[in-house]
């Protein structure tokens, strides 16, 4: 049996408190405007469920550098907030003041209280139970929709692009890009060794990538102007599909595994619960040595959930396991959270034929899967 320490893992569902660090570089002379925007924003954030506290700090060495730290009861409420339309509207006034931002998110693993901290203020719960083992790879995804009559043309454009240079800098490089479509929905997953933000900026600057983005612009359901920083920022913020759970039982990927992208449209308000269910199921499946699933990553935003699966064999050999619904009552729970009508499936998932139809419907069309040279 694979032990926890042997697993490559990341998770937003370990129940630990979350520390968010936002580093900002302000435009010269924008300090007062920024403070006014922050004062308005912080009261709104304080009312968000799961928010504990935040601090605004200014560098003692460079007055244009600022830092916002916030603490949350756990990762899920923060992710629900930061990926919401409300968040987009709340932070909009800050964009005119800020030249650059960097965001970091950490689970609380250990903490030490000061000797004079009152007992009533000391927190001993909500810490990450044990260090996780990583592989130095950051995973992220983007999703957006195109006009329903244009899927074939968009797939053709996306399949034909020239891969950008994999090396970003001395510490960052692109590892793998996988692109899927489900009807008129596009899902692009990326794996980056090093700094994700640096890699995304690097990719956006490449002529071959810019040409593809411009080519699909006329077919998008949500308009965007890549020459307008505000328009591009709003589009890619809404398209972001963060990884909330990743698990691999080995450090590398055997050559015989096959990559699949599974699309799980959740019922309204059930996206986070669905992502958590799939994460729990993948954790349980990892206890089976040399099982069907070699590695899996769950991406979630609002009620869109995507699960990237590297499988050691055909998924249809065990549809419920492949779907993340193997076990007592798990199929019923999945059915309650999933919008089966969107996938065109009716019936009980405990019926093998229904489960097989759901797997076939959820399995997205692979457009391209590229490893860095």
Residue 251 confidence class, pLDDT cut points 50, 70, 90:
very low
The number of C-alpha atoms within 13 Å of 224 and in the hemisphere containing its C-beta is: 24
Dist. CA 373–CA 165, nearest whole Å: 9
Domain 137-371 has CATH 3.40.50.620: no
Task: Answer yes or no: is pLDDT of 202 > 50.
Answer: yes
- Please state the rounded mean pLDDT for residues 76-105: 91
C-alpha 361/C-alpha 340 separation (Å) is 10
Q: For the chain, give the percent of residues with pLDDT over 70.
A: 93
Cα angle: 46, vertex 19, 84; to 5 degrees: 55
**Per-residue pLDDT at 6:** 64
23 vs 126 pLDDT, higher one: 23
Q: Is the model's pTM score more than 0.85?
A: yes
Domains 17-108 and 137-371 agree in fold:
yes
CA distance 150 to 215: 12
* pLDDT of 2: 41
Please report the pLDDT score of residue 289 as a whole number. Answer: 67
For the record, the structure tokens of 320 come out as 């419920």
Q: CA 198 to CA 195: how far, in whole Å?
A: 5
pLDDT score of 366:
97
> CB–CB of 89/81 below 8 Å?
no
Average pLDDT over residues 278-297: 86
Predicted pLDDT at 156: 96
Contact between 20 and 70 (Cβ < 8 Å):
yes
Whole-number average pLDDT of the chain: 90
Q: What is the pLDDT of residue 111?
A: 86
Q: From CA 311, how far away is CA 260, in angstroms rounded? A: 8
The architecture of the domain spanning 17-108 is: 2-Layer Sandwich (3.30)
- Which residues, at least 6 apart from 101, have a Cβ–Cβ distance to it below 8 Å? 22, 23, 24, 25
Say what the pLDDT of residue 255 is. Answer: 65
Confidence of residue 256 (pLDDT cuts 50, 70, 90): confident
pLDDT at 142: 96
- At 117-157, the pLDDT tens digits run 665 555 556 888 888 888 889 999 999 999 999 999 999 99
User: What per-residue confidence (pLDDT) applies to 328?
Assistant: 82
Share of the chain above pLDDT 90, in %: 67
In this structure, the strands spanning 98-107 and 65-72 are: unpaired
pLDDT 10s digits, 32-88: 999 999 998 998 999 999 999 999 999 999 999 999 999 999 999 999 999 888 998
pLDDT at res. 24: 96
Copy the structure tokens of residue 152.
């074939």
Query: Do residues 68 and 56 make contact, with C-beta atoms less than 8 angstroms apart?
Result: yes
Confidence bin at 8 (pLDDT 50/70/90): confident
pLDDT by residue (tens digit) across 302-340?
999 999 999 999 999 999 999 999 888 999 999 999 999
Segment holding 77, helix H or strand E = helix 75-82
Q: Is residue 173 within 8 Å of 193, Cβ to Cβ?
A: yes
1 pLDDT higher than 50: no
For the chain, give every domain's residue range. 17-108, 137-371
Residue 348, both tokens: 């009980």
Q: By mean pLDDT, which of 144-148, 189-193, 223-227 is the weakest?
A: 223-227
CA–CA distances in Å: residue 343 to residues 132, 138, 147, 331: 35, 30, 18, 16
CA 121 to chain centre: 33
What the block records as the tokens of 372 is 């860095």
Does residue 230 register a pLDDT over 60?
Answer: yes
What is d(CA 111, CA 128) in angstroms, rounded to the nearest whole number?
11
Q: What is the Cα 239 distance to its own chain's centre? A: 10
Q: Which residue has the higher pLDDT, 263 or 287?
A: 263
5: pLDDT strictly greater than 50 = no
């Amino acid at each position: 049996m694979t032990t926890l320490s042997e697993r490559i893992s990341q998770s937003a569902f370990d129940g630990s408190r979350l520390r968010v660090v936002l580093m900002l570089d302000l435009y010269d002379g924008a300090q007062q405007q920024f403070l006014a925007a922050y004062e308005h924003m912080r009261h709104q954030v304080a009312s968000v469920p799961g928010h504990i506290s935040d601090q605004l700090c200014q560098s003692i060495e460079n007055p244009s550098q600022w830092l916002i730290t916030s603490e949350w009861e756990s990762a899920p409420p923060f992710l629900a907030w930061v990926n919401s339309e409300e968040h987009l509207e709340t932070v909009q006034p800050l964009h005119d003041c800020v030249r650059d931002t960097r965001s970091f998110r950490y689970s609380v693993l250990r903490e030490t209280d000061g000797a004079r901290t009152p007992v009533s203020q000391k927190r001993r719960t909500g810490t990450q139970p044990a260090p996780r083992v990583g592989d130095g790879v950051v995973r992220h995804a983007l999703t957006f929709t195109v006009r329903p009559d244009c899927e074939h043309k968009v797939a053709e454009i996306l399949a034909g692009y020239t891969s950008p240079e994999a090396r970003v800098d001395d510490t960052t490089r692109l590892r793998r890009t996988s692109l899927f479509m489900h009807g008129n929905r596009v899902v692009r997953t990326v794996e980056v060794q090093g700094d994700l933000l640096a890699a995304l900026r690097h990719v956006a600057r490449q002529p071959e990538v810019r040409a593809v983005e411009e080519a699909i612009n006329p077919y998008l359901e949500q308009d965007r102007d890549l020459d307008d920083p505000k328009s591009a920022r709003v589009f890619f913020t809404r398209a972001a599909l963060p990884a909330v759970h990743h698990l691999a039982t080995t450090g590398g990927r055997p050559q015989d595994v096959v990559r699949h992208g599974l699309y799980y449209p959740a019922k309204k308000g059930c996206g986070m619960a669905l992502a958590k269910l799939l994460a729990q199921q993948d954790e349980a499946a990892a206890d089976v040595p040399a099982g069907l699933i070699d590695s899996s990553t769950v991406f979630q935003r609002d009620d869109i959930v995507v699960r990237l699966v590297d499988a050691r064999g055909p998924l249809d050999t065990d549809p419920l396991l492949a779907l993340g619904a193997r076990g007592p009552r798990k199929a019923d729970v999945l059915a309650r959270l999933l919008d089966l009508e969107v996938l065109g499936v009716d019936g009980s998932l405990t019926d093998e034929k229904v489960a097989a139809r759901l797997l076939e419907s959820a399995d997205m069309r692979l457009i391209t899967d590229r490893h860095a040279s």
